[in-house]
């Protein structure tokens, strides 16, 4: 498949003067829904991947191959440019380089590599630590060296604002910008003065993690300060869990299947499975 066009689309989005909310997706169907209803890009988070693939919490239990396989399934089913959270790159700088190679092959349009010390080291349970700036910058350089398609976006990610404070987050942003990343993803930013400070200190596009509420939902304010992507959390997968739980519970308690109210219509299923395409291919190639 040809992945470069969707990467060029993603890069074009972050080169505009607008701020976008990505659709949080987790499988082929959710990506098609996001594409069909008009999201400009999708987001596949590491936390959601752990839930969807392993049914496990976000504790860095997922492997690179499992993550890349699911990203590939999503990309194969949709033309939605996909931003993925590649966590810490599954190891040190050499592992990061390998991570970039695998995710590029899987068709992602953009990926983030974070500087959190992961997986959590012995004796550090209950706390979150970040790597030294030098080690973080080394990971970013390794990520860039592993990229073959220059259209793919590589973003540095840091949660230093909530761990060491805003000044350290800015220092890391400057170091990663100097390393050559295309964008910087900050988590833990909740106040307008924090956005202002990041905007003043950095020239690359900014991505913000969070719930998409408060200042993170003010796309005009964010866009004017260089923020090109602002997350809205990962509510679609959470909603899917709740709906599945309630439906199964109701059926287990004796509800008749015909009385299940919240379910996809046959028309919607046909649309998101691209049933019309398959029907046409069957006629064309199977003599139907």
Architecture of domain 4-239: Alpha-Beta Barrel (3.20)
Assigned token pair, 18? 């607008």
141 sits in which H/E element: helix 133-146
- Give me the sign of the Cα torsion angle 278, 279, 283, 286: positive
pLDDT tens over the chain, length 288 residues: 899 999 999 999 999 999 999 999 999 999 999 999 999 999 999 999 999 999 999 999 999 999 999 999 999 999 999 999 999 999 999 999 999 999 999 999 999 999 999 999 999 888 899 999 999 999 999 999 999 999 999 999 999 999 999 999 999 999 999 999 999 999 999 999 999 999 999 999 999 998 888 999 999 999 999 999 999 999 999 999 999 999 999 999 999 999 998 999 999 999 999 999 999 999 999 986
Predicted confidence at residue 173, as pLDDT, reads 98
Q: What is the pTM of this model?
A: 0.96
Predicted confidence at residue 288, as pLDDT, reads 64
Give the helix, strand, coil percentages of the chain, each rounded to 5.
50, 10, 35
Contacts of 23 (CB under 8 A, 6+ apart): 30, 31, 33, 34, 37, 39, 41, 42, 43, 80, 236
**pLDDT (tens digit per residue) in 204-234:** 999 999 888 899 999 999 999 999 999 999 9
113 sits in which H/E element: strand 110-114
**pLDDT (tens digit per residue) in 167-183:** 999 999 999 999 999 99
Predicted confidence at residue 212, as pLDDT, reads 85
């Amino acid at each position: 498949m040809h992945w470069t066009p969707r990467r060029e689309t993603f890069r074009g989005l972050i080169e505009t003067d607008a701020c976008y909310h990505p659709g949080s997706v987790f499988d082929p169907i959710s990506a098609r829904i996001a594409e069909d209803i008009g999201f400009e890009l999708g987001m596949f988070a590491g936390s959601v991947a752990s839930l969807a693939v392993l049914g496990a919490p976000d504790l860095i239990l997922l492997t690179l191959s499992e993550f890349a396989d699911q990203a590939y399934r999503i990309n194969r089913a949709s033309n939605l440019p996909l931003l993925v959270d590649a966590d810490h790159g599954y190891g040190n700088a050499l592992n990061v380089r390998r991570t970039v190679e695998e995710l590029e092959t899987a068709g992602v349009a953009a990926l983030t590599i974070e500087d959190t010390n992961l997986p959590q080291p012995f004796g550090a349970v209950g706390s979150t630590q970040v790597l030294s700036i030098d080690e973080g910058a080394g990971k970013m350089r390794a990520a860039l060296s592993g990229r073959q398609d220059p259209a793919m976006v590589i973003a540095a990610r840091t949660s230093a604002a909530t761990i060491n404070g805003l000044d350290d987050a800015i220092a890391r942003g400057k170091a990663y910008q100097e390393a050559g990343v295309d964008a910087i993803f900050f988590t833990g930013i909740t106040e307008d003065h924090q956005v202002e400070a990041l905007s003043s200190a950095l020239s690359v596009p900014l991505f913000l993690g969070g719930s998409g509420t408060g200042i993170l939902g003010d796309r005009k304010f964010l866009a004017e300060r260089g923020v090109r992507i602002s997350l809205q959390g990962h509510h679609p997968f959470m909603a899917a869990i709740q709906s599945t739980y309630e439906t199964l519970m109701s059926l287990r308690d004796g509800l008749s299947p015909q009385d299940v109210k919240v379910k996809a219509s046959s028309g919607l299923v046909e649309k998101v499975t691209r049933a019309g395409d398959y029907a046409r291919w069957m006629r064309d190639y199977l003599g139907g």
